[in-house]
Amino acid sequence: MFSFEYPYVLASIIVAFICLFFCQEKKLSIYFPHSEGLKTVVKSKQLLSNALKFLTLSLVIVALASPVTTKDIILDNSEGYEISLILDASGSMQQNNKFSIVKEIVVEFIKQRKTDKLALSIFADFAYTAIPLTYDKKSIIKILSHIEVGVAGKQKTALYEALFLSSKLFKDSQSKEKIAILLTDGKNNTDSVPLEVAIKRAKSNKIKVYTIAIGNARDFNAEVLREIAQETGAEFFSANSAQGIKDIYAQINQLEKSKININKYEKKTYYFHYPLSLALILLFLYFWQRNTWILNK
């Protein structure tokens, strides 16, 4: 990203412009006959001289403001979190526009996890990984925006399978902190993966599975979700409103706070030498057009 390290210095350009007219150096003054006739001869030259002076000063000020491009570089990700977001995209999520609300909240959550690796899994009739663990937040947000209810079917809720599948994502992970956030509004009604196997897999991979139940309490199985959370050392949350879901994600965000900046570096590329070089060239041009005593011989 292009920016200036000291942008307030740029305000000096206005001062330089004002000074061009009002802070002129005191020159030797003499009476000269027919000075009116000189005006037409010197007019164009004075304009060029002033333009060169102002441009040179402006470029020096721009150089002083230090133009830079900044790029975030994470050298060691072992200190960062790895988070798998598991979202229910079954037919029931369409009710009350639940899925869209969840998507918006999850996008905000993704934006806040600047230094963490994130993955996205979707489940309904079956579970699938939309995007594996990555630092590329833009891609996750983009993919999430394209996911709608029904992409994995509408009839069933393969909750355990999603947990199992998500656990597999952490198979080769080096990270100390592995988290899964499972959001659902229903009960598991497929038998592809048993609950015990899914929990065991999560535990063996040392994944903390936060479970979030949304909607009516009759629709989801709070006991199972609480069990998953407790077994993996996490917490179970439930909410029946958009604000409630938002608060849960904010809470998880606070609970699992990353050590920001520890392993994150900003790679800055400085560009001050370009305006400075240009200013130097213009300065030579200014001296040349002034015909200093050397050139005037």
Partner 1 sequence: MMSAQEILLRVKKNVFTQKSAEHLSKMRGDGLDFCEIRPYQAGDDIRKINFSASGKTGELQTNVFNEDRQINVVICVMLSSSLHFGSVRLKNELIAEIVAHLAYSSIQQKNQTKLVFFFNNEQQVFQLDNMGSLLVATEALLNFDLLKIQINPEALSTYLVQQAKSLVFVIGDFYQSIDYSMIAHKNQINAILVRDPLEELPLFGTELSLKNAQNNSNIEVNFDKKLAKKYQSQLKIEDDKRYLHFAQHKINVGKIYTNDDVFVKLSQILK
Give the integer Cα–Cα distance in Å for 132 and 83.
Answer: 10
Q: Shortest Cβ distance from residue 283 to partner 1 (Å)?
A: 16
Nearer to partner 1, 36 or 223 (CB): 36
Q: Does 269 bind partner 1 (CB under 8 A)?
A: no
Stretch that binds partner 1, among 96-104, 147-155, 274-282, 289-297 (CB under 8 A): 289-297
Nearer to partner 1, 42 or 260 (CB): 42
Q: How far is CA 282 from the centre of its chain?
A: 39
Beta bridge partners of 117: 82
Nearer to partner 1, 11 or 42 (CB): 42
Nearer to partner 1, 277 or 292 (CB): 292
Nearer to partner 1, 34 or 257 (CB): 34
Q: Shortest Cβ distance from residue 40 to partner 1 (Å)?
A: 8
Nearer to partner 1, 34 or 171 (CB): 34
What residues numbered 24-63 form the site for partner 1, per CB under 8 A?
24, 26-42, 45-46, 49
Q: Cβ of 205: how many Cβ atoms within 10 Å? A: 17
User: 226-229: long-range contacts (C-beta < 8 A, 24 or more apart)?
Assistant: 227/195, 227/199, 228/163, 228/182, 228/195, 228/198, 228/199, 228/202
**Quick one: which of 78, 72, 73 has its CA closest to 178?**
78
Give the integer Cα–Cα distance in Å for 180 and 100.
Answer: 20
Give the integer Cα–Cα distance in Å for 214 and 245.
Answer: 7
Q: Does 75 bind partner 1 (CB under 8 A)?
A: no
Stretch that binds partner 1, among 20-28, 152-160, 194-202, 213-221 (CB under 8 A): 20-28
Q: How far is residue 253 from each of residues 63, 101, 108, 264, measured CA to CA in Å?
A: 40, 18, 11, 19
Q: Is the dihedral of CA 278, 284, 285, 286 positive or negative?
A: positive
At 10, is the secondary structure helix, strand, or coil? Answer: helix
Q: Tokens at residue 65, please? A: 């403001």
Q: For the chain, how far is it from start to end, CA to CA, in angstroms? A: 50
Q: Shortest Cβ distance from residue 49 to partner 1 (Å)?
A: 7
Nearer to partner 1, 36 or 172 (CB): 36
Nearer to partner 1, 1 or 294 (CB): 294
Give the integer Cα–Cα distance in Å for 198 and 225.
Answer: 12
Q: Shortest Cβ distance from residue 25 to partner 1 (Å)?
A: 8
Q: Does 293 bind partner 1 (CB under 8 A)?
A: yes
Q: Does 291 bind partner 1 (CB under 8 A)?
A: yes
Give the integer Cα–Cα distance in Å for 131 and 103.
Answer: 15
Q: Shortest Cβ distance from residue 48 to partner 1 (Å)?
A: 11
Q: Shortest Cβ distance from residue 45 to partner 1 (Å)?
A: 7
Q: Does 191 bind partner 1 (CB under 8 A)?
A: no
What residues numbered 205-234 form the site for partner 1, per CB under 8 A?
none
Q: Which residues of the shown chain bind partner 1 in the complex (CB under 8 A)?
A: 24, 26-42, 45-46, 49, 290-291, 293, 296
